[in-house]
Amino acid sequence: MQLHIKLVLHQEMSGWNDAMISYVKSGGYIDLANRIAQVDKLTLILWGETDDMLPSEDAEKFQRSIANSQLILLKNCGHTPQIEQPQITSQHILHFLNSGKL
């Protein structure tokens, strides 16, 4: 129960529903597919293997499209790694930042 509360807590913020409606009306990620290859910065892609909103195939597409990107698929993790596995997520981010490649 506590994990479920954490996963939906952001939905209780004021303006959430309006933001989601605006996002859906804008086409969401449709334009992103055409622009993702324009990312020219070293990029870390953290993705939950069991994400039921965006499949890991999308993560692999991002990795192929973004030059200088690194993909890490997190085991036993869904759509929100920063909430579901905060320790592991932060370790990966710190390692990425301290890698000396930035």
Q: How far apart are CA 87 and CA 93, in angstroms?
A: 10
Question: Which of 90, 80, 93 minimizes the C-alpha distance to 5?
Answer: 80
DSSP code, position 50: T
Q: How far apart are CA 76 and CA 81, in angstroms?
A: 10
Distance of CA 78 to the CA centre of its chain: 10
- pLDDT of 4: 47
Question: Over its length of 102 residues, how does the chain's per-residue pLDDT go in tens digits?
Answer: 444 445 566 677 788 778 877 877 777 767 777 788 999 999 999 999 998 888 899 899 999 999 999 999 999 999 889 989 999 999 999 999 998 776
- Output the pTM of the full model: 0.73
